[in-house]
Structure 1
């Protein structure tokens, strides 16, 4: 059968570099898994950004009465509730860096790890 003849079985083939035929996978195949992986990846990144932004704002002594700074602090507190006071050193800046930096790294690792796991399914 030549490439110009119509196919009646509704299955197209994609030829790889070794000349072997494999069923053609449309770009929509696995799109739900890709979306789930992207969601996990993005949520981990967003959580880490809020935590990192709070550390940065704190270390740069941002005005904590500012609405934006309050919002970032509230979100960071909500995300890092489980890690508060893990580190209790006297240096306040280092304490904030470690108590909010640790969950930021964990959220990044977990979000990217889940995304990688979903993509492998």
Structure 2
């Protein structure tokens, strides 16, 4: 049997041999738990990023269809950030009414981001 005294042991356990024939206990890491935590954080960041993209696109739709002042700083900010997030959905449908075009195209882009985010999070969690 071994006896643990002040962080050292006098028995036959795994560890490094220190002076005097005593073995030090080696710290063990739970790599599976750490990997699961990292995967969880990456999945959460992906979910937040995709949700934020969808929210910006939805805000652009609401501001445009609601008739917000296009010269307002908030409206310009949302419009500027939603343009690259719309990807190729921006001009997918070209109805005569520009508000309907924004509703359909940017609405589809928002739905796309939500679906893409959901799939990406499932794939990320599958590796955890």
Q: Which category of TM-score, normalised to the shorter sequence, fits these structures?
A: 0.7 to 0.9
Q: Is contact 1:40-1:112 (8 Å) kept?
A: no
Query: In the aligned structure 2, how far is the partner of 1:94 from the partner of 1:120?
Result: 39
Task: Note if 1:58 corresponds to 2:49.
Answer: no
Aligned residues: 101
Q: Is contact 2:87-2:109 (8 Å) kept?
A: no
Q: Is contact 2:64-2:99 (8 Å) kept?
A: yes
Over aligned residue pairs, what C-alpha RMSD do you find?
2.1
Q: Taking CA–CA contacts closer than 8 Å with sequence separation of 6 or more, which of the two structures ends up with the larger relative contact order?
A: 1
Query: In the aligned structure 2, how far is the partner of 1:25 from the partner of 1:75?
Result: 39
Decide which structure has the larger Cα Rg and report it: 2
TM-score normalised according to structure 2 size = 0.70
Runs of 4+ in 1 over 2 A off after TM superposition: 24-29
Q: Is contact 2:54-2:114 (8 Å) kept?
A: yes
Listed as ranges, the gaps of 5+ residues in structure 1 are 1-7, 11-23
Task: Note if 1:103 corresponds to 2:105.
Answer: no
TM-score normalised according to structure 1 size = 0.74
After alignment, is 80-89 or 34-43 more displaced? 80-89
